[in-house]
Amino acid sequence: MKLAHRTEVNASPDVVWTFLQDTPAVVECMPGAELVDDLGGDRYEGVLHVAFGPLKMNYVGRAAVVERDAGEHRIVIDASGRDRRGSGSVQAHVRVQVAPAESGSRIDVVSDLDLTGRIASLGRGIRDVSNQMFGQFADELVSRIEGPTREPLRAAPSPNGATATMIRPQRPADAGSEIKVLPLVWAVTRQRIADFLERLSVRVRPN
């Protein structure tokens, strides 16, 4: 399954790129994600907590940055994980690209996913759930980059020799908690019902 998402940030590409180099900060933006260990060599171990009604899945796995191109502002990541109870697995190939935009920067994320087990039973709905999850991730990412300054983030040199300095705000108290998939599915379903009723009212409306 291939998914594509985009968000814009009111900051220069160099500033956004600097933030993306801080892996723990980026992971903190992901709903349900927890960084367990830095294995070195751009390899990491982590857990993804997902709750679907009464079902709870905890995917334990590893991720590796296979490409980090500072000149092109591009990161490519391979990741894989398996549910602790053996109910399925996830493999992902993710490409993150930062580019200039009218508002400052545009972040494009393209993911190729291979799902098995209970998570795969969502079928086509996983695309809608993914869109909702990315929206939460993008909101937190933008908030940290554009938000108030608290904890300094390590600076990184830009291609032109200047230094782009980012500031990291404190992590929200509820960050890193499990992904509540059921509310996301309900939000998507409710919108679809509303769209259907609106189309139906147009059809039956008298001339």
Domain CATH code at residue 77: 3.30.530.20
Q: Is 80 exposed, middle or buried (0-12, 13-18, 19+ CB in 10 A)?
A: middle
By DSSP bridging, strand 33-40 and strand 55-69 are unpaired
Q: Which domain holds residue 68?
A: 2-204
3-state DSSP assignment of residue 192: helix
Q: What is the pTM of this model?
A: 0.69
Number of domains in the chain: 1
Task: Tell me whether residue 40 is exposed, middle or buried, using C-beta atoms within 10 angstroms of its C-beta: 0 to 12, 13 to 18, 19 or more.
Answer: exposed
pLDDT tens, per residue, the chain with 207 residues? 888 999 999 999 999 999 999 999 999 998 889 999 999 999 999 998 877 666 678 899 999 999 999 999 999 999 999 998 888 898 999 999 999 999 899 999 999 988 888 777 766 667 777 777 888 899 999 999 987 543 434 334 433 333 333 333 334 434 445 554 544 544 545 555 666 566 656 555 555
